[in-house]
Structure 1
Amino acid sequence: MPGGEPKTIITDQDAAMTRAISIAFPTTFHRLCIWHITSKFSVKLPHYAYKEYLREFQKSIWDTDNKDEFDAKWNSVVTKAGLTDHPWLSSMFDLRESWVPTYARHFFAVGMSSSQRAKGFHGFFKQYISRRNSLMNFIIRFERALSHQRQKELVVDHVDSFEVGQCILPMPMNKQMTTLYTKTMFQKFEQELIQSTTCFLELKIEDASKVVFNVSERKNWETRVAKVVYVKDYDHASCSCKRFEFVGIICKHILTLFRRNQIEYMPDKYILKRWKKTAKSGLVSNANGNKIKDSADPGLLIKRSTMSRLASDVVDDALMCEEGCELLSETLKSLRVKLKLLKDGPSNNEIGGSNS
């Protein structure tokens, strides 16, 4: 991971890991896995409290947008359940800055709040390896698993580069984001854009330096309100939901403000490079300035990225006239025949058999 310490690390409540992370990564935000904590409610709480108040605990955790709101809702349900002296709940409240979403959204984590993605990787490798493997057999199977994973990644990269989504809302911003974002991330952006049409903007404060809006939305029979602050001098909008800071995708609340101001194109500062189609087009260097290549097939992803960009430019040029389209089509057909001969041609027969 060139570029310094990671911004966030998510683990379960392991004391040894907590000590080690604080020493090795002193500037990294160490977050506790929310799934591990919430799954203990059924074990730690009395049966009556778990049955009657679990839903209220969940709402205080997930449906609050600021710290004061969480503290108030949590203390309210704890008091109603008669658990003000419950040692485990008290300890979890003391640790709230490490696991409660509203306390941790200002740290970028690609939207993750649990370590379940790591568990998914464990499940993936279990398809290939087992405790009965010898060391050599383990290495072979592990390399095979990585090879399959990288092949799937290349397929997904191809889909993201050459297939696009189509938003139903006729805004110039859609075309811009379709061109820049991968297909998967455009779909996430599209969801926010569509949901912004159901939000209502209310001006609260305006002075020489900033404008403050309340953005309300009706959801699950409840009205949720977020606060959007636009700073004039920096031409920058931020939201109390912290979705952009936490996930890296601009939220529906800020998009509501953009729609009101008839902003047609998304400012570059709200488009992270990691979600772009060109995210892999550059080379990565380590701390010494040496270029890092993929370990499975050095240069494969780089070559593919280079050829994809070249092919895309050629297609764009050919589309400018009918003769160009015909020329490119004939050339590609001829090239495809030559590549097939190169792959399956006489060279294989000369060595007298099928290749392994």
Structure 2
Amino acid sequence: MSRHELLSVRGRSVAWIFPLALLAGIAVADVTTSAFQIISWTVLVPGVAAAICGVPGTAALAVLAAVVYVLADTVWQHHERTGLSGLVLVVLGGLIAVAAAAVRVGGERRMLHMRDIADTTRRTVLRPLPEVFGGLEIAAVYLSADTEARVGGDFYDVQPGPHGTRVLVGDVQGKGLGAVETAAALLSTFREAGYHEAELATVAERLETRILRHRRHSTAAGQPGGDRFATAVLIEFTDDLPDTVDAVVFGHEPPLAVGPDGVRRLPAVGGLPLGMGDLVPGPSVSVHRLALARDETLLLVTDGVTEARDSAGRFYRPADDVARAVAADPRVAAPRRLVALVRDGTLRHSRARLVDDTTVFAVRRVSG
């Protein structure tokens, strides 16, 4: 939360209350007690205001602190006068505090602008998905290992088209802007090929070609990441095959099928990650046709889930948590509840210390 959200009530800032209360406390203590002469402490008031108030508020409190100092030193005269030196200290402290507040507010504005840019990038790479799209019920959550980055190398999308609805979930090797660029390149290709290409294998081949082209471009431009690869799962739902799905696994964790009757791991043999297809002769894409009942949900997760560790170093096993939850309440198999369950289980198991970007994605056919 930003400073404005923390120090506001019903949208109005209350940050000024704290330095004002400090000023009042200093004045009362100086006037009503004979043991302490602390009116010069009013120099602290604009300093506190500079940390939590805006520039106008800090300036107003600096002026008020100087006025209170003059009144205490010349009108109330409870103690021996401190004279001009104390007033110079309070005024100089106020001027420094106003300058510090201006620098801090400028930095906050730049930070908020960068956050807006990061949010726009995230919406471009991971565009918001409706709960129902292309005949599928969808739920997804993304957690960045870097809380300030807001976007990383994990990616997912759903693309309806004349040949069915295609789903892509994956994880680019590495972190930073290079991983984001690779994810964006793969998603842009998926959104076009997933709509136009009739065969799922062709979509997979287009993704492989795209990451190789992206790597060559990065190398030619002198950018790091010339050997970057990505694990992914590509799935196709079609109306003429209501009880099956076609899937291509690129070195990724196979999806789980979660239904009222329990949890099962789909027998999809993982192929090579995207970007490594040139390591083997012949076709590197293998399409698997997998049975999936209409009331079953496909659950896909990235390394942030499967590599989450507890304090003893044990890996998180989402299938065990999901199986127990479904046995207790079959309604947990719904995408939204399933995603929330795995997300909360991952954070609880890792004590909210994520070592990698984390994506939990669930999808199933719309009932009826």
TM-score (norm 2): 0.23
- Greater percentage in strand: 2
Structure ID, larger Rg: 2
**TM-score scaled by length of structure 1:** 0.24
